[in-house]
Amino acid sequence: MAAISLERMFRLLGTAAVPGTGRELKALSTRIGELVELNGEAWVRRHRGRLLAQWRRALGAEPALPLPMTQPPRKDPMPLFEAAAIKAMRLRNRFVRSATWEAMAAADGAVTARLVETTAALARGGVGLIISSHAFIRPEGQAGPGQVGAYADALVPGLRQMAAAAHENGAKILLQLAHAGYFAAEALTGVPPIAVSAAVRLDDTPRREMGAADIGALVAAFAAAAVRAKAAGFDGVQLHCAHGYLLNQFLSPLFNRRKDDYGGALANRARVHVETIRAIRRAVGPEYPVLAKVNSRDFAEGGLEPPEALEAALLMEQAGLDAVELSSGMTRHARFGAARTGIRNQAQEAYHREEAKLFKAKLRIPLILVGGIRSLPVAERLVREGVCDFIAMSRPLIREPDLINRWTSGDRRKAACTSDNLCFGPARRGEGLYCVTAARKKRRSP
Ligand SMILES: Cc1cc2nc3c(=O)[nH]c(=O)nc-3n(C[C@H](O)[C@H](O)[C@H](O)COP(=O)(O)O)c2cc1C
Ligand code: SF4
């Protein structure tokens, strides 16, 4: 590999000055050229702080070249199938099962044997991290039938079985904490849904606007649910701030028309998130992983757009968040939901990849990407090119809970899921989630 130009090297290292004589800089540019060839430009840019520090140390201790590396450079610096970590949470690989409402819990939100077995099957299938379905943290925050609850201590024993099912099969597991807010199911909760601003009328259902006491109670309920998750053996929690649910509604100008400290400027709209993260931290300690799933945009007129979504994520990072999962869309009233249909080729996969680049460039904490990822080469490129750190999937793992083991064993064909969303049918009917397309195929050719 010939040396790259000094100009290109300075650009990659993000600096206009590197110490060293002309000969030493020439040697450094050869080394950087090798690293670009092996690992790609994004890798070099990502590790430039470390590379520069090593270079300075090398010049001080031993000006002789070549530049020593703490680890030999590798062809694939972040292989999907190798162990990785989010904070102190060690994962066997970089594959994440994105939160998926299985509609298998009891009417009061208690975990059932079927849900425990579903969790065990996912863990046996090789995924590194399982994120549970959205668990409602207050009774009036339930979104749909069969949803898991995290609103009472009595639910902890069932949650403990779920966490154990993941651990016994080598996976880590987070509890996703949620409140449906505007989109809560009155037919199940028996009370009118609460809203960030009652003036917002997207349908005919009357809603009650949250007062200051409601907001205080909400923050406390998230913290109490996180304590339950920890007591049940979950490895961390994920705040559901996406898909149009309550923590998304606070951020979204479409839903949030408040005139108090929780409305108006983005810093106010993100106040409840910052308070929630701090309250959780106080309750579970500094080491417990606290993640958030956020919308990069709502895909609704007047909704959240990427610049403000990123600003909110940065505020959450400052408040102590450990990783962001990036999604988009809303459950209703949006151009797109989170689970898009019509993913037929690699170009249509990873449909948040452009937004992910924006987030990755600014966030210091790991980024998990979800949305239409179906092929291993796409997943590999996303991580190798530094678009994200972890790969999350939902529907592919409904159809094939053992997809990661299949890929690991060398069968690298793309996921069988056809992204037709027929699996929402049984979930909405409260029958429990399953792949309708696979079941139909099986019936046609037994
Ligand atoms: C049946 C079903 C239930 C879902 N439930 C949740 C949920 O509880 N929480 C959540 O954050 N996202 C939920 N999602 C969205 C997924 O986590 C994911 O963001 C989306 O499906 C796109 O990823 P995919 O293309 O890999 O399916 C659900 C998706 C499906 C298909
Ligand atoms: S029904 Fe099956 S194939 Fe269709 S989206 Fe759901 S998991 Fe994928």
CATH code assigned at 309 = 3.20.20.70
Quickly state the pLDDT bin for 340 (edges 50, 70, 90): very high
Q: Looking at the predicted structure, is the pLDDT value of residue 332 above 90?
A: no
Q: Strand, helix or coil at 70?
A: coil
Quickly state the pLDDT bin for 69 (edges 50, 70, 90): very low
Q: For ligand 1, is residue 352 a contact (CB within 6 Å)?
A: no
Number of domains, the chain = 2
Quickly state the pLDDT bin for 60 (edges 50, 70, 90): low
Quickly state the pLDDT bin for 67 (edges 50, 70, 90): very low
Cis upstream peptide for 66 (omega within 30°): yes
Q: Verify that 47 and 130 share a domain, yes or no.
A: no
- Average pLDDT (42-71) is 64
Lowest mean pLDDT among 4-8, 22-26, 127-131, 261-265: 22-26
CA end-to-end distance (rounded Å), the chain: 56
Q: Verify that 217 and 359 share a domain, yes or no.
A: yes
Q: Verify that 101 and 240 share a domain, yes or no.
A: yes
Which ligand 1 atom is nearest residue 396's CA?
Answer: 26
Q: Looking at the predicted structure, is the pLDDT value of residue 64 above 60?
A: no
CB 409 within 8 A of CB 389: no
pLDDT tens-digit series, residues 360-400? 999 999 999 999 999 999 999 999 999 999 999 999 999 99
pLDDT tens-digit series, residues 201-219? 889 888 999 999 999 999 9
- Average pLDDT (334-345) is 93
Residue nearest to atom 6 of ligand 2 (CA): 423
Residue nearest to atom 10 of ligand 1 (CA): 99
pLDDT at 30: 83
Which ligand 1 atom is nearest residue 98's CA?
Answer: 17
Q: Verify that 137 and 281 share a domain, yes or no.
A: yes
- The reply to whether 159 falls in a domain is yes
- Give the helix, strand, coil percentages of the chain, each rounded to 5: 40, 10, 45
Range(s) of the domain holding residue 54: 6-61
Lowest mean pLDDT among 44-48, 99-103, 176-180, 232-236: 44-48
Q: How far is CA 216 from the centre of its chain?
A: 26
Residue nearest to atom 14 of ligand 1 (CA): 100
Q: How far is CA 416 from the centre of its chain?
A: 22
Cis upstream peptide for 68 (omega within 30°): no
Q: For ligand 2, is residue 437 a contact (CB within 6 Å)?
A: yes
Q: Verify that 52 and 178 share a domain, yes or no.
A: no
Q: Verify that 51 and 112 share a domain, yes or no.
A: no
Residue 288 known to be catalytic: no
pLDDT tens-digit series, residues 217-270? 999 999 999 999 999 999 999 999 999 999 999 999 999 999 999 999 999 999
- The reply to whether 10 falls in a domain is yes
Quickly state the pLDDT bin for 301 (edges 50, 70, 90): very high
% residues pLDDT > 90 (the chain): 78
Q: Looking at the predicted structure, is the pLDDT value of residue 113 above 90?
A: yes
Q: Verify that 46 and 139 share a domain, yes or no.
A: no
Quickly state the pLDDT bin for 1 (edges 50, 70, 90): low
pLDDT at 65: 40
Q: Looking at the predicted structure, is the pLDDT value of residue 4 above 90?
A: no
- The reply to whether 74 falls in a domain is no
Q: Verify that 236 and 307 share a domain, yes or no.
A: yes
Question: Which ligand has the minimum distance to the alpha carbon of residue 369?
Answer: 1
- The reply to whether 131 falls in a domain is yes
pLDDT at 72: 42
Q: Please name the residues in contact with 431: beta carbons below 8 A apart, sequence gap of 6 or more.
A: 103
Closest CA to 258 of 214, 219, 294: 214
**What are 17's two structure tokens?**
């000055």
Largest CA distance in the chain: 76
Q: Please give the Cα distance from 320 to 278 (Å, whole number).
A: 7
- The reply to whether 78 falls in a domain is no
Q: Looking at the predicted structure, is the pLDDT value of residue 29 above 90?
A: no
Question: Which ligand has the minimum distance to the alpha carbon of residue 372?
Answer: 1
Residue nearest to atom 2 of ligand 2 (CA): 435
**What are 226's two structure tokens?**
């996180």
**What are 354's two structure tokens?**
């452009």
Q: Verify that 140 and 22 share a domain, yes or no.
A: no
Q: For ligand 2, is residue 416 a contact (CB within 6 Å)?
A: no
Task: Name the residue of 101, 349, 355 to mutate for ligand 1: max ligand atoms within 8 A of Cβ.
Answer: 101
Residue 125 CA to ligand 2 centre (angstroms): 17
Residue nearest to atom 13 of ligand 1 (CA): 100
pLDDT at 26: 82
Q: For ligand 1, is residue 104 a contact (CB within 6 Å)?
A: no
Quickly state the pLDDT bin for 446 (edges 50, 70, 90): low
- The reply to whether 403 falls in a domain is yes
pLDDT at 33: 82
Q: Verify that 53 and 189 share a domain, yes or no.
A: no
Active-site residue, selected from the candidate residues 151, 182, 245, 262: 245
Q: Verify that 35 and 157 share a domain, yes or no.
A: no
The pTM of this model reads 0.84
Question: Which ligand has the minimum distance to the alpha carbon of residue 422?
Answer: 2
Element (H, E) at 436: helix 436-444
Task: Name the residue of 414, 434, 436, 440 to mutate for ligand 2: max ligand atoms within 8 A of Cβ.
Answer: 436
Residue nearest to atom 26 of ligand 1 (CA): 393
Q: Verify that 259 and 375 share a domain, yes or no.
A: yes
Task: Name the residue of 394, 395, 419, 434 to mutate for ligand 1: max ligand atoms within 8 A of Cβ.
Answer: 394
Q: Looking at the predicted structure, is the pLDDT value of residue 74 above 60?
A: no
Which ligand 1 atom is nearest residue 327's CA?
Answer: 19
pLDDT tens-digit series, residues 78-91? 489 999 999 999 99
Q: For ligand 1, is residue 180 a contact (CB within 6 Å)?
A: no
- The reply to whether 294 falls in a domain is yes
Which ligand 2 atom is nearest residue 341's CA?
Answer: 5
- The reply to whether 200 falls in a domain is yes
Residue 432 CA to ligand 1 centre (angstroms): 14
Question: Which ligand has the minimum distance to the alpha carbon of residue 418?
Answer: 2
Quickly state the pLDDT bin for 329 (edges 50, 70, 90): very high
**What are 92's two structure tokens?**
């066997």
Q: Strand, helix or coil at 341?
A: coil
Which ligand 2 atom is nearest residue 422's CA?
Answer: 1
